[in-house]
Structure 1
């Protein structure tokens, strides 16, 4: 199973590109005919990809896959990656020729291309493939992910796919939040994996938890939530995430499970929508994905959000999108910004929780009393000894 961020497999040596790290590389115009598609699995039918592909295959749309690096020579990727960006992670000394480089990223790019075979792909490295979760914050206070997002926007990304989260990104980071906001402000749709912690550890997960991001949960055959898919109220939509046929860096293909491949597929479907209508805003894209999804019984829930994506329906609605008003609105309230009965003033705080405060002060006072008594007893014993 795909855990943390999310594929944990071993790969042999990839292509020797180590000397080229840190600079953007051009690989020419991507052509679907130059490479083979990853074999289709149950996910293709579940998403409705065959019907969607009769209308569009994502041509003219650029998807940035920010991940652990890639092997651009894999048949599923060869000739289809327009640009390989810098290694923003660059703290582990690894390069493309190393065993633990580009395993996860190669699989995720193949997932995007399965859904949108004619999309343009750009990549940058922002995580590694090790088992150990590492929180990377550079000396300048800007995370590798934030730098990767800014790079993607600067290089013409229409969609950003983030098959990462949890562990390494469990804390909200200001540099990442700012980068996400800049991306969406520029009209770029950002999708991120909901996480693979099941119904545990639900105290926060980023980047999926950022308000500008579409959080992608994973489903199993039949459409229900995959057991590992993290349950959170901010889950937006879902996509197949169990036994997804993905490119293996060492060659060939293997089955991958997790919210990582679900996110890659969802990013590919988003590319199909934008190819049908390049004027879609991120808000419209989110609304369409949610409105056309196979909704769970009872409506939107924290398990699969609005439900499993229907690619064909999403592409159809993209041609005539709903109007989503995201313009800033003037404040309409009065002196109090919560309605009755809350009545909280804009310039006051709610009363402090006195019970806990009193308990704490009492415990501290009791401890201080014990210390004083102990010192007095020790002093009396010393006086007796010297008398």
Structure 2
């Protein structure tokens, strides 16, 4: 199976990658002047390719550079309106990708890019499964993360040893599954290995599992792949939640289940107002929300309280100003 790792470039000579990368694609993020071999080139990408290969050692790897390592979360907005990531997704599809691994992202809803939504939709329509990191702001601002938030993408949260959510993993109702994301031993672009934390390695590991599933059954559709990953995951107490989605991935169970996939009808149909939710296979109601962790709730309430205080202070200042003018 071919896995496209769209990231910050790679060091193709690292022992973990050498002779195992079929195609190194264009540098779509070419605004920083870095070139292969430079010390600051391919730090993150080298690590992510090694993590995919750790799970799926016979995978055919193709890569393209769509971010840089100084600003992994930066999403360029070029004049033509097509982001480096959108170009990378189209490149991956044209070069035979079965799986696209996106250990990247960032931003709020204002950062949603129509070119990326379109590219991801085209990829899935052509049978390519896309996975992306849920984000690493769960212990800070818990911002939304794209492309993980795009509806055609499998959003991967990170777990710590024991299978519960890693503190940094972003909490979102669109989180699909989770994978280990703490101290994942990954290749360094300068040689050697080091432990990496984040939803980035979690996504790379999950992409490797997806490649194994497709090797077992190349006819799997993206919808079937998503369904199997979710149904075979180690479900959290209470079922699917925004912390880890359907739970930590179970690689062995997912690969076994790939041989006998569920039938999923993905044909479009009109909405008649009777269904509580649209999407199969999660079964997650779109009109209710499971309880969130107490710590996250406290942070959220604290932020809301601070915001309210600022609003009140602003109103008081404005009122005093009006009173001074009137006097």
How many Å apart are 1:203 and its aligned residue? Answer: 4.5
Larger Rg: 1
1:246 alignment counterpart: 186
CA 1:259 to 1:249, structure 2 compared with 1: closer, same or farther past 3 Å? same
Q: 1:324 aligns with which of 259, 264, 280?
A: 264
In structure 2, distance between residues paired with 1:203 and 1:245:
27
Contact kept? 1:67, 1:162, Cα under 8 Å: yes
In structure 1, distance between residues paired with 2:73 and 2:103:
15
Superposition map of 1:1-387 within 5 A: 61-131=1-71, 133-167=73-107, 171-332=111-272
How many Å apart are 1:131 and its aligned residue? Answer: 4.8
CA RMSD of aligned residues (A): 2.2
How many Å apart are 1:331 and its aligned residue? Answer: 4.3
Q: TM-score, normalised to structure 2's length? A: 0.82
How many Å apart are 1:158 and its aligned residue? Answer: 0.3
In structure 2, distance between residues paired with 1:142 and 1:126:
12
Task: For structure 2, list consecutive stretches of 5 or more residues without a partner in the other structure.
Answer: 275-314
Q: Higher relative contact order by CA 8 Å / sep ≥ 6: 1 or 2? A: 1
In structure 1, distance between residues paired with 2:50 and 2:259:
26
How many Å apart are 1:329 and its aligned residue? Answer: 1.0
Question: Helix, strand or coil: the match of 2:226?
Answer: helix
In structure 1, distance between residues paired with 2:52 and 2:204:
5
In structure 2, distance between residues paired with 1:168 and 1:332:
31
CA 1:128 to 1:325, structure 2 compared with 1: closer, same or farther past 3 Å? same
In structure 2, distance between residues paired with 1:137 and 1:169:
15
Contact kept? 2:10, 2:45, Cα under 8 Å: yes
How many Å apart are 1:202 and its aligned residue? Answer: 3.4
Task: For structure 1, list consecutive stretches of 5 or more residues without a partner in the other structure.
Answer: 1-60, 335-362, 378-387
CA 1:277 to 1:232, structure 2 compared with 1: closer, same or farther past 3 Å? same
Q: Residues 8-36 of structure 1: CA distance to partner in whole angstroms, max 9, x if unpaired? A: xxxxxxxxxxxxxxxxxxxxxxxxxxxxx
How many Å apart are 1:199 and its aligned residue? Answer: 4.5
How many Å apart are 1:166 and its aligned residue? Answer: 1.6
CA 1:278 to 1:170, structure 2 compared with 1: closer, same or farther past 3 Å? farther
How many Å apart are 1:133 and its aligned residue? Answer: 4.8
Contact kept? 2:108, 2:145, Cα under 8 Å: no
Contact kept? 1:199, 1:231, Cα under 8 Å: no
How many Å apart are 1:168 and its aligned residue? Answer: 9.4
In structure 1, distance between residues paired with 2:64 and 2:21:
11
Question: Helix, strand or coil: the match of 2:194?
Answer: strand
Aligned length: 283
Q: Residues 220-248 of structure 1: CA distance to partner in whole angstroms, max 9, x if unpaired? A: 11111111111111100000000001001
